[in-house]
Amino acid sequence: MSDRAGATPKHIWIVGGLSLLWNSLGAFDYVMTRTRNAEYLAQFTPEQVAYFDAFPVGMGIVWALGVWGSVAGSLLLLARSRHAVGLFGLSLVGIVLSAIWQFGLSGADIQRIFGVVPIAMTTAVFLICLMLFLYTRRQRAAGVLS
C-alpha cells in the first residue's frame, strides 16, 4: 500500500501520461468541431458537417461531459487524486449517452454518412475510458490515490 506522501509509482505516470495524450486528442476534436474551425472541418463532407451542425444543445453537453471528464480525470490521476475515479465515471456516462443518441436517437444513418469509423471509435473510446475508470478505482482502493 502506498500513501500520498510516498513516491508516485511509475505506472501512474505512464498510464496518466498516455491517458492525457489520448484524451487531449478528443478535446482537440471537440474544440475544432464546436468552434467550426474551417481547416479542421475541411476533412469532412458537407453531409458530415451538417450532421455535426444538427447536434441538439443537450447532445453538446453530453459530449462535453465525456471529453472534459476524461481530460480532467487524466490530470487528477497524474495529481494522484481520488476524484479521478468520479471524473472517469462521469465521462463513461457521457460516452454511453452520446452513443445512444448517435446510434439510436439521432435518426441519422451514421454508417452511410461516416462509414464504420464512428462505431470503431466509439467502441475504442468506451473501452479505454472503462479501463481508466477501473484502473483509477483500483489505485484508489490501494491507497495510491487519495
Determine the Cα–Cα distance for residues 57 and 41; give it in Å rounded to an integer.
20
C-alpha cell at 84: 479521478
Write the DSSP assignment of 52-71 as a string of letters: HHT--HHHHHHHHHHHHHHH
Contact 145, 84 (CB under 8 A): yes
- Compute CA distances 144 → 59, 96, 121, 131, whole Å: 35, 28, 31, 17
Band (pLDDT 50/70/90 cuts) for residue 72 is very high
Question: Residues 30-39: contacts with CB within 8 Å, 24+ apart?
Answer: 30/63, 30/64, 30/67, 30/68, 34/60
* Rg of the chain over all Cα atoms, to the nearest angstrom: 17
Whether the pLDDT of residue 6 is over 80: the answer is: no
Please name the residues in contact with 1: beta carbons below 8 A apart, sequence gap of 6 or more: 142, 143
Greatest CA separation found in the chain?
Answer: 54
Q: Which residues contact 134 (CB under 8 A, 6 or more apart)?
A: none
For the whole prediction, is pTM greater than 0.85?
yes
pLDDT band at 2 (very low <50, low <70, confident <90, very high): very low
- In this prediction, residue 80 carries a pLDDT of 96
Asked if the model's pLDDT at residue 42 lies above 70, the reply is yes
Domain ranges of the chain: 10-141
